[in-house]
């Protein structure tokens, strides 16, 4: 295959769409250092900051999603779409890509539509067990779909769909070897259980409220907590940082946090679920109800039905959390079983497999 490739990656709106795109770009660059890579995102979303931080150029489209209620943004949608299609045509004409890859989010829609209509090889990478509207609309037009879950095959043309998994950080592959280092890093005792609580970088209000309400029970059970409150809630909850409880705004060393944990309480974004499968620790998922098409609950359910995790929805927490979670903490056998089962779902070589598929497409 020629070495001086030109590749466009498009995806964004959330970290769940941006980080897989960056991982794919990095893998392409590793194999073909001369490749020219351009990202295309939504002009007012986080990709405009995160992609340049990762060392890549990005162009922004004036695009956004449809809101569920009547808003000014919805009324502007047709104009934004036409503007984004026109700019996508210009970008593709000027950049002349050999392949276009979409990782989800609204910006990838216009770009992949234009690319596929011009016969440029195009791929979508679907992270969730239930595809978003953009990828559902594009599925018939693109050449290939790299998916993370078997469940998506019922939404996409079977002959184009390959189960590759989601790109994840490679440092997670060695967390078992880091157990001692991890406990030392967080100054934790090896003879007490460690529960890691994750609500995402901004934080999850309901998960934070849940932990606060159960702090006395955690202490009574002698459980050590690594509690990531998130940026929005740290000031409110940092007062609890003492003894068995550690509050953190962010966890910069996620591999060490995973390494220290015995049990994890987490949201169920697609990237997080893929990471936790590789980590192979027992998990209680509390999906966010505030995401499009209830993606997180569907992601979690795909794992739960394989007896590889527990799940409680937010509206079940008051009634069921204490019984379910502390009952689970009392059963070493149940913890071991869930950890083993979730590990079986791991696809650690996803990024390499996706780039293998890209290579096949443009040879």
Annotated binding site for UDP-N-acetyl-alpha-D-glucosamine, which residues?
14-16, 128, 169, 201, 296
Residue 28 has a CB neighbour count (10 Å cut-off) of: 22
State the angle between helix axes of 332-344 and 317-329 in degrees (0 to 180), rounded to the nearest 10. 100
Return the number of other C-beta atoms located less than 10 Å from residue 34's C-beta: 9
Task: Give Cα 250 distance to the centre of its chain.
Answer: 16
3-state secondary structure of 281: coil
Q: Residues 219, 222, 223, 227: is their CA dihedral positive or negative?
A: positive
Phi, psi angle pair for 124, to nearest 5°: -115, 145
Residues in the annotated binding site: 14-16, 128, 169, 201, 296
Q: Name, in order, each residue with C-beta under 8 angstroms of 350's C-beta and a sequence gap of 6 or more.
A: 148, 164, 165, 166, 167, 168, 274
Are residues 321 and 207 in contact, defined by beta-carbon separation less than 8 angstroms? no
Cα angle: 42, vertex 45, 48; to 5 degrees = 80
């Amino acid at each position: 295959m020629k070495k001086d490739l030109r590749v466009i990656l498009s995806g964004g709106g959330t970290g769940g769409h941006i980080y897989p795109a960056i991982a794919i770009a990095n893998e392409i660059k590793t194999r073909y250092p001369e490749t020219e890579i351009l990202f295309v995102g939504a002009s007012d979303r986080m990709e405009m900051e995160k992609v340049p931080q990762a060392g890549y150029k990005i162009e922004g489209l004036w695009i956004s999603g449809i809101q569920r209620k009547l808003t000014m943004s919805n009324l502007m949608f047709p104009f934004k779409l036409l503007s984004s299609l026109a700019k996508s045509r210009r970008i593709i004409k000027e950049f002349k890509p050999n392949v276009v890859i979409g990782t989800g989010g609204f910006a990838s829609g216009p770009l992949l539509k234009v690319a596929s209509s011009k016969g440029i090889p195009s791929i979508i990478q679907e992270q969730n067990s239930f595809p978003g509207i953009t990828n559902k609309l594009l599925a018939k037009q693109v050449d290939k779909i790299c998916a993370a879950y078997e469940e998506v095959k019922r939404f996409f043309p079977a002959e184009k769909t390959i189960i590759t998994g989601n790109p994840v950080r490679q440092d997670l592959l060695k967390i078992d070897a880091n157990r001692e280092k991890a406990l030392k890093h967080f100054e934790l005792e090896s003879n007490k259980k460690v529960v890691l609580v994750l609500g995402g970088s901004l934080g999850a209000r309901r998960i934070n409220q849940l932990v606060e309400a159960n702090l006395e029970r955690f202490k009574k059970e002698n459980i050590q907590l690594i509690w990531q409150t998130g940026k929005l809630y740290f000031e409110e909850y940092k007062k609890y940082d003492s003894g068995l409880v550690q509050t953190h705004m962010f966890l910069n060393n996620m591999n060490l946090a995973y390494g220290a944990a015995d049990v994890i309480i987490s949201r169920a974004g697609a990237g997080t679920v893929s990471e936790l499968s590789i980590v192979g620790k027992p998990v209680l998922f509390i999906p966010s109800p505030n995401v499009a098409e209830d993606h997180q609950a569907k992601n979690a359910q795909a794992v739960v039905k394989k007896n590889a995790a527990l799940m409680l929805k937010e509206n079940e927490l008051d009634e069921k959390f204490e019984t379910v979670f502390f009952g689970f903490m009392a059963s070493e056998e149940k913890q071991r079983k869930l950890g083993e089962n979730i590990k079986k779902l791991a696809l650690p070589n996803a990024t390499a497999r996706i780039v293998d598929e890209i290579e096949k497409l443009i040879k």
